[in-house]
Amino acid sequence: MSVVILGIETSCDETSASVVIDGTQIKSNLISSQIDIHRKFGGVVPEVASRKHLEIINRVIREALDEAGVTFADLDAVGVTYGPGLVGALLVGVAAAKAIAFGLDIPLVGVNHLEGHIYANLLAEPDPGLPLICLVVSGGHTDLVLMHGPGAYELLGATRDDAAGEAFDKVARVLGLGYPGGPLIDKLAECGDQQAITLPRSYLEEGSLDFSFSGLKTAAINYLHRAEQKGEEVNRADLAAGFRRAVVDVLVDKTLLATQNHGTQTLLLAGGVAANKLLREEFTKRAKQEGLRLIYPPPVLCTDNAAMIACVAYCKYRRGDFAPLTLNAVPNLPLGKEKY
């Protein structure tokens, strides 16, 4: 008998619902983005995000079921992101999932958003080989994670200031590119010379697996401002290319150091920044040189989506790891240390 899971994701600015069968067959993955609403503010406005989730959540769930050709009665469980994320946004998804679980008398599964990003890789590759190293790079996180097994994670390093995606977004804003900036810098960088403008790379202490991107971000912004003050024209594509190169160099070097330190054979990329073209190319090259198995999701599964949440929920469902109906949103939920 196959297991039909409804996944729900509302941790930031995407309202998403997905039906996944047996943890791998994505029957639907609806993603309603609020980007157009937040764009005029240059970033996500939390209060606006939760109101928009509330307006649309029922419709997105309905459409996810319809597209998958299933009804509520076919669902075996409902999985929902309950952290980390914006509390008001998370609450909308959690409340919807609890209502469905209660109404249908099916298990409720609470999912960590970061675990969702990691599992986006397992939708297509359910057997990646353990232990493995995963680089989680999103708008809110830059984490190097050693995964021993389902639910067993060790945090090896994290950003001490800006997340990689956040740095992309802030530099893009100063370049006048708009929001979210990561994909726009990625595109502009393709037309630039990555060696024309060299920006600093922060490696922190010898052997450290932590990250720091605020110095690089400030250096890029200062470069632009200084040129503007002198009335000089800046080649924005070159600046975008130099910035992207610096971010990618540090991410790749530290991730490979982590694989060497732990003797792991498999490497996963996860989170919105994992959609970056240069990041994928560089990891592909270096993984080949080092004889590592590299897995990364298709771009649509790198950014926030509910299929990855349903995938984690399936694994937890199989383990009987259910949440009580008192489940609450946990904005700072750490990876691998969840307790309902």
* Helix (H) / strand (E) containing 316: helix 307-318
For position 81 contacting Zn ion by CB under 5 A, the verdict is no
Q: Distance between CA atoms of 245 and 279, rounded to whole angstroms?
A: 9
Give how far the C-alpha of residue 172 lies from the chain's centroid of Cα atoms, to the nearest Å.
Answer: 19
Q: How many residues bind Zn ion (CB under 5 A)?
A: 2
Binding test (CB under 5 A) with Zn ion, winner from 166, 186, 210, 304: 304
> CB of 279: closest distance to ligand KG4 in angstroms?
7
The listed partner (Zn ion, ligand KG4, none) that binds 93, CB under 5 to 8 Å by sort, is: none
Mapping DSSP onto H, E and C, the string for 215-246 reads HHHHHHHHHHHHHHHCCCCCCHHHHHHHHHHH
Q: Distance between CA atoms of 162 and 266, rounded to whole angstroms?
A: 27
**Cβ closest to ligand KG4, residue 211 vs residue 317:** 211
The listed partner (ligand KG4, Zn ion, none) that binds 181, CB under 5 to 8 Å by sort, is: ligand KG4
**Cβ closest to ligand KG4, residue 49 vs residue 275:** 275
What is the layout of strands, in order, in the sheet containing 77-83?
25-33, 14-21, 4-9, 77-83, 108-112
**Cβ closest to ligand KG4, residue 143 vs residue 304:** 304
**Cβ closest to ligand KG4, residue 21 vs residue 301:** 301
Residue owning tokens 């560089």: 282
Q: How many CB atoms lie within 10 A of CB 76?
A: 17
**Cβ closest to ligand KG4, residue 138 vs residue 259:** 138
The listed partner (Zn ion, ligand KG4, none) that binds 275, CB under 5 to 8 Å by sort, is: ligand KG4
CB 283 within 8 A of CB 302: no
**Cβ closest to ligand KG4, residue 101 vs residue 254:** 254
CB 301 within 8 A of CB 328: no
Chain positions 128 to 147 lying near Zn ion, rule: CB under 5 A, are: 138
Maximum pairwise Cα distance, the chain: 69
> CB of 117: closest distance to Zn ion in angstroms?
6
The listed partner (Zn ion, ligand KG4, none) that binds 257, CB under 5 to 8 Å by sort, is: none
Return residues touching ligand KG4 (CB under 6 A): 12, 138-140, 165, 168-169, 180-183, 186, 271-273, 275-276, 303-304
The binding site for Zn ion (CB under 5 A) comprises 138, 304
